């Protein structure tokens, strides 16, 4: 997991010719020194631009670099004379942990080439020019982090990063983007020194993205564990939704058929098969009959009908008359039963509406009492003035009534809230039971309506038979066989759908059991021993550095790194919320450098480089800055730290005397006339 920047080249074409800068880079501490407004930030921001990380600081890519690379540049130090920029680009040569060197070029301004295009040459094209194989990629638009020709997809592979997919808002999943890790590697002068990860972009919607980026950078197992836990919990939610969707689809298929689905648990069942068999019931004479038995009965009826010959009307006239009278009688009974059931349904709907209204009222009471308890815990004396109004409904209470009630022992607000919560649970169950009972009655009513329709059709057929010629075949007998056969076919289709539902629910249940088992197998401890060791290393380095940097807001004895969000804390309070501005800068120095130092003793995803643009902010003491330079220069091989500063040259030279570092001094403006 290494990224080394080896050479930076800036070029700008103007009417006066080519202007540019070449900055050699190497491992260890690199200091780019320039006077204010002479190009120091141009160099640093060009590094950020070449890597496509501009969304850390701006939504517009070209705005990342200074105007000297995109609009006009000053070519004369004394007169401040300017010339317009016609074309410009940034090239950065870099290498990875495998020793593979590449050169990336990105245009800032060009008539034909967009600033979203990045060209990668597979070789050290700036230090050893040659004809290297090259490929074009895109950046700063959708897909650049995930598609094969996206630059950040390529860059993550080049570094050796595998960006995790994390839970995001609204139940989505989203990747952790490279731009959300780089605030721990790169501090830009204007926005970056406002605090740790002050430049964090939130466009991905990843939940708690600051914590996630630290977990990724130092490769904490807790991040993977929590990600796995959240993914498993998300899968359980998906299975629950699939269960309910499958059941709802089946219920919709049965609607209006006089049938109801029975035995299906309301949520995913972990015990399969469920206690009661999943089946379809048909309403018959105030009872429910399984669909398998209904089909069997219909097949028996059809078999008997088919075994008997179709007789003429004259032969069965008396039978037809008796059947007509019976059908009329049954139709009257069904109609009366339907009316009674309809009235019962209307009553049940009214009762259910009342239960729901009561439930909403109880929930509002619960919210009111919770507010009362919060105010009470905060010291409010509103509960001492019950003679003024009720704390829940805020109606005025007469003093005489309150005085009488004062003699009685009343429930405390805590007891009242507990009682209300019990009532909410009770009425929630009542509402659920009422909904199920109402749904069953609605289906039974649908069954009665279907039965009434069948009886009306039978009455019409019988009357048609009785008014036809005596030698005519009975239409009723023919139609009855056809209708029974069609009903068997329809119920058979529903039975097949039921079998499919059983199979689907069994699959969901088995997967839910597996997912829950994997959840139980996850370690209960949030941090593994290795995680604890890494955070311990981070904490030791951080506190040690603050001592070296003359941190003065308070004693460092109670400073620690939080095991929850991995940020500095003092007695569990945010450290940066109560310290001076200069100490806040020291905290950023120490924390980001400590993250880098952890990678020297533990396996992490840190790429081994750090960039500070003008680290001496808020007039931090020269002694503190000298200590930072000494700490940063401690390892000249295993890491790369780039500082851009406008520190007085004589003072800076004195500070780095004896240190193993490289100083690049910009004389005048960074962009000078050059010949390529």
Q: Would you state the torsion angle of the CA atoms of residues 304, 309, 310, 315, taken in this order, to the nearest 10 degrees?
A: -110
Q: What does the pLDDT read at residue 323?
A: 76
Mean pLDDT, range 400-408, rounded to an integer = 53
The pLDDT, as a whole number, for residue 62 is 58
Domain annotation covers residue 441: yes
The β-bridge relationship of strands 609-613 and 640-645 is parallel
Separation between Cα atoms, residue 184 and residue 596, nearest integer Å:
9
Summarize the confidence of residues 311-318 as an average pLDDT.
73
Predicted TM-score of the model (pTM): 0.69
- 318 lies in a domain? yes
Query: Looking at per-residue confidence, does 326 or 137 come out higher?
Result: 137
36 falls in which pLDDT band (50, 70, 90)? confident
User: Above 50 in pLDDT, residue 387?
Assistant: no
- Answer yes or no: is pLDDT of 621 > 70: no
Nearest to 560 by CA among 528, 592, 590, 538: 538
Residue 594: what pLDDT? 95
Per-residue 3-state assignment (H helix, E strand, C coil) for 596-649: HHHCCCCCCCCCCEEEEECCCCCCCCHHHHHHHHHHHCCCCCCCEEEEEECCCH
Cβ contact 399:317 at 8 Å: no
Q: What is the pLDDT of residue 61?
A: 59
Which of 473, 499, 519 is the C-terminal boundary of a domain?
473
pLDDT digit string (tens) for 478-494?
777 888 888 888 889 88
Distances (CA, A) of 92 to 6, 103, 537, 607: 7, 6, 33, 16
Percent of the chain whose predicted confidence (pLDDT) is above 90? 37
pLDDT at 388 (0 to 100): 53
In the predicted model, what is the mean pLDDT of residues 538-546? 93
Of 62 and 657, which is predicted with more confidence?
657
pLDDT at residue 588 is higher than 50: yes
Across 300-327, average pLDDT: 79
Mean pLDDT of 447-464: 79
587 in a structural domain: no
**Quick one: pLDDT at residue 98?**
92
Burial of 130: CB neighbours in 10 Å, binned 0-12, 13-18, 19+: exposed
Query: Do residues 512 and 236 touch, judged by C-beta distance below 8 A?
Result: yes
186 burial (CB, 10 Å; 0-12 / 13-18 / 19+) is buried
Question: Residues 254-281: pLDDT tens digits?
Answer: 887 778 888 888 889 888 888 888 999 9
pLDDT band at residue 471 using 50, 70 and 90 as cut-offs: low
Listed ranges 34-38, 154-158, 355-359; the one with the highest mean pLDDT: 154-158
Which three-class secondary structure state does DSSP give residue 481? helix
Rounded CA gap, 82 and 74, in Å? 4
In a domain, 55, yes or no: yes
pLDDT > 70 fraction of the chain, expressed in percent and rounded? 91
Average pLDDT, the chain: 85
CA-based nearest residue to 3, from 150, 178, 211, 212 = 178
Question: Looking at per-residue confidence, does 4 or 635 come out higher?
Answer: 4
Tell me what pLDDT residue 305 has: 78
Domain annotation covers residue 18: yes
> Residue 393 — pLDDT band, cuts 50, 70, 90?
low
Q: Name the residue range of residue 143's domain.
A: 3-161+607-673
- 323-281-289 Cα angle (round to 5): 50
Mean pLDDT across 565-580: 80
Residue with the larger pLDDT of the pair 63 and 138: 138
Residue 255, CB-side half-sphere exposure with 13 Å CA sphere: 8
Reported as a single tens digit per residue, the pLDDT across 209-232 is 899 999 999 999 887 787 788 888
Q: Is residue 98 domain-resident?
A: yes
Q: Is the pLDDT confidence value at 361 over 60?
A: yes
Domain stops at, among 422, 449, 473: 473
Give the tens place of pLDDT for each residue, 119-161: 999 999 999 999 999 999 999 888 888 899 999 999 999 999 9
| 253 CB-near residues (< 8 Å, 6+ apart) | 494, 497
Whether 340 is in a domain gets the answer: yes
Residue 20 has pLDDT above 60, yes or no: yes
Instruction: Find the CATH number of the domain harbouring 39.
Output: 3.40.50.300
- Does 386 have pLDDT greater than 50? no
Taking the CA atoms of 481, 482, 485 and 491 in sequence, report the sign of the dihedral they define. negative
Q: State how far the Cα of 446 lies from the Cα of 82, in Å rounded to an integer.
A: 85
Per the CB < 8 A criterion, the answer to whether 103 and 110 are in contact is: no
State residue 100's pLDDT score.
95
Residue with tokens 């349904």: 345
- Does residue 388 lie in a domain region? yes
Average pLDDT over residues 183-194: 87
325 and 469 share one domain: yes
> Which of 441, 473, 505 is the last residue in one of the domains?
473
| Total number of domains constituting the chain | 2
User: Residue 261: helix, strand or coil by DSSP?
Assistant: strand
Residue 392: which pLDDT band, with cuts at 50, 70 and 90?
Answer: low
Stated as kind and residue range, the H or E segment containing 365 is: helix 317-377
Q: Which of 624, 627, 619, 661 is nearest to 641 (CA)?
A: 661
Backbone dihedral angles phi then psi of residue 42, each to the nearest 5 degrees: -60, -45
Per residue in 516-532, pLDDT (tens digit) is: 999 988 887 788 899 99
């Amino acid at each position: 997991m290494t990224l080394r920047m080896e050479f930076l080249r800036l070029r700008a074409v103007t009417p006066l010719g080519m202007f540019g800068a070449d900055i050699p880079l190497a491992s260890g501490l690199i200091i780019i020194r320039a006077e204010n407004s002479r190009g120091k930030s141009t160099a640093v921001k060009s590094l950020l631009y070449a890597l496509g990380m501009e969304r850390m600081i701006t939504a517009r890519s070209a705005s990342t670099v200074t105007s000297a690379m995109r609009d006009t540049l000053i070519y004369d130090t004394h007169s401040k004379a300017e010339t317009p920029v016609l074309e410009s680009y940034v090239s950065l040569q870099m290498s990875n942990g495998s020793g593979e060197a590449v050169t990336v070029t990105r245009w800032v301004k060009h008539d034909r080439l967009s600033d979203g295009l990045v060209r990668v040459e597979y070789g050290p094209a700036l230090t050893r020019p040659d004809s290297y194989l090259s490929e074009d990629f895109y950046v700063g638009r959708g897909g650049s982090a995930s598609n094969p020709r996206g630059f950040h997809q390529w860059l993550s592979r080049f570094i050796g990063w595998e960006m995790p997919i994390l839970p995001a808002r609204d139940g989505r999943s989203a990747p952790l983007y490279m731009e959300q890790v780089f605030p721990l590697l790169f501090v830009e002068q204007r926005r970056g020194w406002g605090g740790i990860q002050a430049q964090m972009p939130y466009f991905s919607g990843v939940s708690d993205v600051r914590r996630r980026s630290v977990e990724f950078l130092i490769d904490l197992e807790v991040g993977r564990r929590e990600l796995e836990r959240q993914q498993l919990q998300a899968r359980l939610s998906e299975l629950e939704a699939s269960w309910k969707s499958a059941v709802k689809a089946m219920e919709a298929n049965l609607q209006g058929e006089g049938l109801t689905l029975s035995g299906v648990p309301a949520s995913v069942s972990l015990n399969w098969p469920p206690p009661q068999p999943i089946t379809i019931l048909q309403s018959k004479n105030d009872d429910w009959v399984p669909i398998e038995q209904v089909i069997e009965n219909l097949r028996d009826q059809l078999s008997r009908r088919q075994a008997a010959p179709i007789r003429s009307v004259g032969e069965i006239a008396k039978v037809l008359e008796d059947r007509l009278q019976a059908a009329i009688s049954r139709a009257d009974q069904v109609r009366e039963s339907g009316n009674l059931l309809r009235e019962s349904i209307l009553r049940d709907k009214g009762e259910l509406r009342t239960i729901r209204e009561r439930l909403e009222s109880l929930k509002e009471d619960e919210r009111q009492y919770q507010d009362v308890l919060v105010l009470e815990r905060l010291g409010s004396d509103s509960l001492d003035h019950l003679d003024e109004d009720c704390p829940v409904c805020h109606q005025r209470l007469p003093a005489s009534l309150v005085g009488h009630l004062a003699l009685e022992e009343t429930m405390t607000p805590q007891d009242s809230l507990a009682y209300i919560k019990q009532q909410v649970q009770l009425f929630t169950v009542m509402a659920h039971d009422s909904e199920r009972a109402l749904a069953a009655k609605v289906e039974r009513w649908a069954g009665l309506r279907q039965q009434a329709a069948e009886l009306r059709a039978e009455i019409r057929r019988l009357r048609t038979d009785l008014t036809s010629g005596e030698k005519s075949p009975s239409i009723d007998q023919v139609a009855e066989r056809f209708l029974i056969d069609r009903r068997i076919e329809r119920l058979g289709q529903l039975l097949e759908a039921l079998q499919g539902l059983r199979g689907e629910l069994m699959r969901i249940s088995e997967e839910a059991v597996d997912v829950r088992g994997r959840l139980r197998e996850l370690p209960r401890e949030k941090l593994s021993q290795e995680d604890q060791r890494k955070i311990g290393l981070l904490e030791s380095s951080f506190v040690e550095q603050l001592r070296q940097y003359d941190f003065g807001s308070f004693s460092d004895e109670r400073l620690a790194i939080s095991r929850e969000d991995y940020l500095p804390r003092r007695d569990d309070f945010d450290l940066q919320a109560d310290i001076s501005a200069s100490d806040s800068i020291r905290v950023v120095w120490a924390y980001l450098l400590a993250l880098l130092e952890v990678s020297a003793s533990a396996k992490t995803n840190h790429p081994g480089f750090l960039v500070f643009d003008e680290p001496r902010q808020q007039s931090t003491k020269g002694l503190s800055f000298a200590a930072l330079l000494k700490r940063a220069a401690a390892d000249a091989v295993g890491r790369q730290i780039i500082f851009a500063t406008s520190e007085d040259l004589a003072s800076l030279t004195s500070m780095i005397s004896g240190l193993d570092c490289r100083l690049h001094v910009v004389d005048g403006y960074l962009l000078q006339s050059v010949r390529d």
